[in-house]
Amino acid sequence: MTGITRIEITGDFYHDRRTALGEAGRPLADAIYFDLMERMGAPLKPSVETVRCTKQQAIARYDHTEGIDVILTSQGGSRFTVQEKCLDPAPHWRPTLTIEEYKASGKPGAWFYCTAQWYFGAVFVHNSLTRFEDWMIVDLPGLRVAHETGRARGHRQKPRDPRRGGPFFYWYYREIPEDVIVARHRAPRLEATDG
């Protein structure tokens, strides 16, 4: 059993820049997971593997049906499940966490079906795929409760490209309650000055 197991569904489906960003972010996310789990006192087993499968194969249920992209396994044998999203910074981007509410077909999206314990959202540094500017890991069930109780209501938005899915929720980092945040990194911001 490896410390990080990634589930990758192969086959004929829509590939675009966002797919490439997810692939480019994997080694960066892996380093974050190894460091985080070490600091939390539950170090991961030392290796990483990617399990490639079709939607029809049994292991595919983790990603396709349950929304689980990654399984972390500690040296003690405990398992932690994660959904990941790595994004480009938009021209006027602000640190946000986004989760698909509905698919383009109208079927429920990851907000409803994802059973991952943690949700990892990251944004690359502008014009670079070698490091993240900002990232956050949240307790996904905790975020759902915060949304439903009104402590952290997600904002709804439709995607610019309808091939990428349907409406999604987003939260500015500052809107996510501290008790829901597992870990975060925010790059320092440069402020404009008068003169």
For 44-80, what is each residue's pLDDT tens digit? 999 999 998 887 776 667 766 788 899 999 999 999 9
> Hey, which bits of 74-146 come out as E strands?
79-87, 96-100, 118-124, 132-139
Tokens of 72: 């972390």
In this structure, is the dihedral angle defined by the CA atoms of residues 168, 172, 178 and 181, taken in order, positive or negative?
positive
pLDDT for the residue 192: 42
Instruction: Classify residue 91 as exposed, middle or buried by CB count within 10 Å of its CB (0-12, 13-18, 19+).
Output: exposed
In the chain, where are the structural domains located? 4-183
Return the pLDDT at 125.
Answer: 84
For residues 141-169, average pLDDT: 89
Sequential DSSP letters for 34-45: HHHHHHHT-PBP
- C-alpha 174/C-alpha 186 separation (Å) is 11
Return the amino acid letter for 106: G
Place of tokens 């939390």: 40
